[in-house]
Amino acid sequence: MRILDDRVAVDTTDEGQRLRVTGSGAGTERDLPSTFWIIALEQDYDDVVLHAADGRAVRATGDQLASRGLTIPPELDPDYEAHMDAELVELPLLPAADADDPALTAPLHDRYLGTITFDPVDGVAAYDVATPLGPVSVRFWGCGHERVTALLPLVHHILHHLPQVLGAAVELLWQWGANDADTPELHERFSASFGVRSVSVYHCGAFAVELSDDQAVFAESFLDGYWPAIHFLPNGQPVFVTIEC
């Protein structure tokens, strides 16, 4: 284990390395890619510098290091290590309460999404974005200005084709929870029961859609206050389901 102070530590095991950080809020942990093998931690004023074996270094604040992105599980993402590496080296570009660069929190304006806010607490998001299914919120995880800008063409495509995305999401959800007692009539009703409440975009271009309960069917399948999210690879393939609250 390498420990800088009570905020930052790197645990090394047979499975790899894991970064543990305590920022302004609760502590977080993240797996580290083997391509960025940390050999030293350094304190530089209020920043922490991660030194990798290949000579690269990442300088970030405690809150930037503690930020949590979204990842596709490694068994489903053939480029998992490369995606983790790319997100790690861009941590210094994230808005954070302990970062003093005003450019990190400046809003970004897009012709489709409108104003995208970069808030140290609420994250990077656009709200009430018009889509063929009605207004939705769009949230970017682990992304600063440059990465959001690079992802905008993909996000435009997702939103433009949101009815097809919703259809694929609901079909995976059906398969995830189906049993032998289900009927074609139930499948048809289920498939027409959902809307989209939000879209979450990963740093790597993968994304998730959180479903809304347009026909009041959640009570049949989920506890009160819970809803499903369906996660997609960057190529648009839905791959797994999580339950959010």
Given this model, what pLDDT does residue 6 score? 66
What are the contacts of 130-133 at 24+ separation with CB within 8 A? 131/159, 131/160, 131/162, 131/196, 132/160, 132/162, 132/163, 133/162, 133/163, 133/166, 133/195, 133/196
The pTM of this model reads: 0.92
Q: What is the pLDDT of residue 119?
A: 96
pLDDT number for residue 24: 55
Query: How high is the pLDDT of residue 23?
Result: 54
Pick the CATH number of 2-93 from 2.60.40, 2.40.10, 3.30.450, 3.40.50: 2.40.10
Q: Which residues pair with 118 in a beta bridge?
A: 124
63 Cβ neighbours under 8 A, 6+ residues apart: 23, 24, 25, 96, 97, 98, 99, 120
Instruction: Give the model's pLDDT for residue 53.
Output: 96
pLDDT at 2: 67
User: Helix, strand, or coil here: 145?
Assistant: helix
Domain ranges for the chain: 2-93, 102-244
59, 49 Cβ separation under 8 angstroms:
yes
Q: pLDDT of 205-239, one tens digit each?
A: 999 999 988 777 766 667 777 889 999 999 999 99
CA dihedral 53, 13, 74, 201 (to 10 degrees): -70
Low-confidence ranges of the chain (pLDDT < 70): 1-6, 23-26, 218-221
